[in-house]
Chain A
Amino acid sequence: MRQPLSLSARRSRTGYLFCLPGLAFLALFLAYPLLYNVWTSVHDVDLGQLLGGAERFNGLDNYRAVAGDPAFWHSVRLSLVFTLASLVLQFTIGFALALLFARPFPLGGLLRSLLLVAWLLPPVVSGTLFRWMLDGESGAYNALFQAVGLSALSHDWLTDPSTSMAGVVFANVWVGVPFNMLLLLVGLHTIDPELHEAAAIDGANAWQRFRHLTLPLMRPVSVTVLLLGLLYTFKVFDLVFVMTGGGPVDATRVLSLYVYEVFFTFFRFGQGAAAGLLLLVVPLLAGAWYVRRLRHEEEAPAGGAR
């Protein structure tokens, strides 16, 4: 006869049952497709095979084709430019706004929440909106430039290949700033105000206090915010797709749009899968580093600002 299960064993069995539906779902709709992508990437798959032919194993041919495609390397460069420019700008502006909103003043909370609307709008909406804002003939920004006498800056930003990347980065920074601000604000609130008071009594001016107190104490939070920013920005698809579709003449075809084009426009599934897996490298590396950092922090919880 079987031993009756102890209470804790029964509990953990129920626990597994609780996990089962969610994990099964993720296995089926997330893990399996991603693994299937690996399989596709080493096979010769196009639309014909998809509709009922035999896929042929072709080893690393797809990867070779991607690595030999100048458009791929062009996209890699564009993704780097897009990500770096967005990160630097949204972090700097977000930090400045966080410093402003860290002070208690009337309506501070309300204004801070209003800023978040920019981040929450669906990317398709913000993309369409910035197409209109940056429109060459009657866009609001150009009108604004003209109104303040800077008509030299008035320009059809998105249709000129030399400025379309700047336009897309501008919109992406607009979306990213509130999120950066919010997280940095949480970090600023963990700094003990007495430190600032003590430094002020010792004769440190505002800049010195910022440089030697706030900045070093904000380092851990800043690294987290930049890393999350990297993960989000590198993924961006919707905003760029809606604003420029990768054009004009591929001037904004960042990696995610390149993968989309190979897969959904040219229907080269094997090659698209290979390019997609290459696109995974950056987030996985960044994510692994992030998780290591989190663990490190949990082991040493007294590490200043969280």
Chain B
Amino acid sequence: MRPPRRPWLWTALATLITAAFLLPVYWMVKTGLTRPDRIQTPDPQWAPTPLTGENYSTALGYEGLTRALFNSLVISCGVVALTLLLGVPLAYALARIRMRGSGTMVLALLVAQLPPAIVLAAPLFILERRAGLTDTYVGLIAADTTLTLPFAVIVLRPVLRGVAPELEEAALVDGCGLPGVLLRVVLPLVVPGVVATAGLSFLIGWGEFLFGLTLAEGPEVQPVTVLLNSFVGQHGTSWGALMATATLVSIPVVCVFAVFQRFIVGGLTAGSVRG
């Protein structure tokens, strides 16, 4: 489109809309920083004066919060590792190697993203229980990876296809095996794409709730999303501490997004529009 005549007017309008849209996010941060006795009033303050860290110390004093944050970190990192370990070779084979059935496999990976999580959580609950995997990191990481792996392969395939085949062929002629080619030649060239996939997988693992709710009973492995939800039941009216917790859970998300913003936006649109 042509550059509009008064661009700053559009900036003003867009800023206003963005600010109104993001009011809930501001409110979350604000409530977390407001003195508890000033939160639940019929006439709320729009700015947190005086600032206080009281809600954060209350929240961190709640039983299990630090442990749950740690659990979520372990689970998300595990999800990233497992997704890349399984997904990169799979995506590479589907991108580069002529194989019978690769079309079917791509289709299967698209279909794999369709089932609602609850349809999978139900049988996984029975099966993981029998296999002794409930209440373990492994059980949760595996469950979460069923969400990330199909997605990761669909996003990575076009990325890996973008590498010039001549480079791989030269390495193959030099006597490098296919795994060597992938590790030493191809991967270094697609670091941004792989990193974006890792970032997205991390976000999915970090935000996952249903598997955490159904496959982990004890606080030893329970992710922070499940704990936040149970806080709402236990400390229903301590909105200051609840919003402080919600902010703590959001910080990694915003950080990951800020770092990988460009790649994530590209990966999302590539993954969903073109399938």
Contact between B146 and A277 (Cβ–Cβ < 8 Å)? no
Q: Which of A129-174 contact B (CB under 8 A)?
A: 129-133, 135, 137-138, 140, 143, 174
Contact between A32 and B122 (Cβ–Cβ < 8 Å)? no
Contact between B243 and A129 (Cβ–Cβ < 8 Å)? yes
B66 CB within 8 Å of chain A: no
Known A100-B13, A122-B225, A129-B28: A235·B93 in contact at CB below 8 Å? no
B175 CB within 8 Å of chain A: no
CB-defined contacts of A135 to chain B, threshold 8 Å: 239
Contact between B116 and A279 (Cβ–Cβ < 8 Å)? yes
CB-defined contacts of A287 to chain B, threshold 8 Å: 110-111, 114
Cβ-neighbour of A36 out of B31, B43, B99, B126 (below 8 A): B126
Cβ-neighbour of A132 out of B31, B82, B100 (below 8 A): B31
Q: Which residue on A lies nearest to B239, using beta carbons? A: A132
Q: How far is the CA of A19 from the CA of B104 in the complex (A)?
A: 13
CB-defined contacts of B105 to chain A, threshold 8 Å: 19, 23
Contact between B119 and A22 (Cβ–Cβ < 8 Å)? no
A246 CB within 8 Å of chain B: no
Interface residues contributed by chain B, number (CB under 8 Å): 102
B219 CB within 8 Å of chain A: no
Contact between B115 and A283 (Cβ–Cβ < 8 Å)? yes
CB-defined contacts of A256 to chain B, threshold 8 Å: 116, 118
Known A8-B98, A130-B24, A138-B41: A22·B89 in contact at CB below 8 Å? yes
Contact between B229 and A242 (Cβ–Cβ < 8 Å)? yes
A 106-138 to B, binary, CB cutoff 8 A, 1 in contact else 0: 111001011111101111111111111101011
Contact between A105 and B122 (Cβ–Cβ < 8 Å)? no
Contact between A36 and B250 (Cβ–Cβ < 8 Å)? no
Q: How far is the CA of A277 from the CA of B232 in the complex (A)?
A: 31
Contact between B275 and A294 (Cβ–Cβ < 8 Å)? yes
Q: Which of B217-263 contact A (CB under 8 A)?
A: 225-226, 228-229, 232, 239, 242-243, 246, 249-250, 253-254, 257, 261
Cβ-neighbour of B253 out of A121, A277, A306 (below 8 A): A121
Contact between A280 and B13 (Cβ–Cβ < 8 Å)? no
CB-defined contacts of B21 to chain A, threshold 8 Å: 115, 118, 174, 177
Instruction: Tell me if B's interface is mostly helix, strand, loop or mixed.
Output: helix
Known A138-B41, A291-B110: A122·B273 in contact at CB below 8 Å? no
CB-defined contacts of B2 to chain A, threshold 8 Å: 193, 196-197
Q: How far is the CA of A97 from the CA of B20 in the complex (A)?
A: 13
Known A37-B123, A125-B228: A12·B97 in contact at CB below 8 Å? yes
B 149-165 to A, binary, CB cutoff 8 A, 1 in contact else 0: 11001000000000000
Q: How far is the CA of A122 from the CA of B227 in the complex (A)?
A: 13
A11 CB within 8 Å of chain B: yes
Cβ of A108 to closest chain B Cβ, rounded Å: 7
Q: How far is the CA of A283 from the CA of B82 in the complex (A)?
A: 27
Q: How far is the CA of A34 from the CA of B206 in the complex (A)?
A: 24
A259 CB within 8 Å of chain B: yes
Interface residues contributed by chain A, number (CB under 8 Å): 97
B 56-68 to A, binary, CB cutoff 8 A, 1 in contact else 0: 0000000000000
Contact between B7 and A106 (Cβ–Cβ < 8 Å)? yes
Q: Which of B70-112 contact A (CB under 8 A)?
A: 82, 85-87, 89-90, 92-94, 96-100, 102, 105, 107, 110-112
Cβ-neighbour of A182 out of B41, B96, B268 (below 8 A): B268
CB-defined contacts of B182 to chain A, threshold 8 Å: 18
Cβ of A292 to closest chain B Cβ, rounded Å: 11
Contact between B261 and A128 (Cβ–Cβ < 8 Å)? no
B132 CB within 8 Å of chain A: no
Contact between B249 and A276 (Cβ–Cβ < 8 Å)? no
Known A123-B207, A174-B24, A186-B269: A132·B242 in contact at CB below 8 Å? yes
Contact between B14 and A105 (Cβ–Cβ < 8 Å)? yes
Q: Which of B35-61 contact A (CB under 8 A)?
A: 39-44
CB-defined contacts of A127 to chain B, threshold 8 Å: 229
Q: Which of A232-269 contact B (CB under 8 A)?
A: 234-235, 237-238, 241-242, 256, 259-260, 263-264, 269
Q: Which residue on A lies nearest to B126, using beta carbons? A: A50
A-B contact list, 27 entries, CB within 8 Å: A8-B98, A18-B90, A25-B86, A29-B142, A29-B145, A36-B127, A103-B7, A105-B8, A111-B14, A113-B265, A124-B225, A125-B225, A125-B249, A128-B243, A129-B25, A132-B239, A133-B24, A138-B41, A138-B44, A138-B239, A140-B24, A143-B43, A174-B21, A228-B272, A263-B122, A273-B123, A276-B118
* Closest 8 pairs between A and B when the two form their complex, measured CB to CB: A122-B207, A15-B97, A22-B90, A18-B93, A33-B123, A18-B89, A105-B10, A22-B86
Q: Which residues of A contact B (CB under 8 A)?
A: 8, 11-12, 14-16, 18-19, 21-23, 25-26, 29-30, 32-34, 36-37, 40, 50, 97, 100-108, 111, 113-118, 120-133, 135, 137-138, 140, 143, 174, 177, 179, 182-183, 186-187, 193, 196-197, 221, 224, 228, 231, 234-235, 237-238, 241-242, 256, 259-260, 263-264, 269, 272-273, 276-277, 279-280, 283-284, 287, 290-291, 294, 306
